[in-house]
A = this chain, B = another copy of it.
């Protein structure tokens, strides 16, 4: 239960999520992620490290560049499922509100 919470924590940060999303189409090196996300280099590097430690992303040095890529693309299915759940949750909230009025 503890480990699961930590795993969810990986995806509970907007900037980290955007870094992960930048890798959706395929591997990118750090600078490319920086440009794609608009975040500072230090920040991107940090989040990529976290994602690597979490086992979500793989680090692959190539010459003087370092490429990162998503290991198991089914993480995006997780994101999609969460998004769907979130939407229905919000709708339920509205329904609950309507039931009161």
Residues of A within 8 A of B (CB): 1-9, 11-14, 16-18, 21, 53-56, 58, 71-72, 74-75, 77-79, 81-83, 85-86, 88-90, 92-93, 96
> Given known contacts A12-B9, A14-B2, A18-B1, is B82 in contact with A78 (CB within 8 Å)?
yes
Instruction: Using A1-B18, A54-B89, A55-B88 as known contacts, list a sample of 7 further A-B pairs with CB atoms less than 8 Å apart, ordered by residue number in A.
Output: A1-B14, A4-B83, A5-B16, A8-B11, A55-B86, A58-B96, A74-B85
> Copy number in this complex?
2
Q: Say which residue of B16, B53, B56, B82 sits within 8 Å of A7 (CB atoms).
A: B82
> Given known contacts A55-B93, A81-B78, is B3 in contact with A86 (CB within 8 Å)?
yes
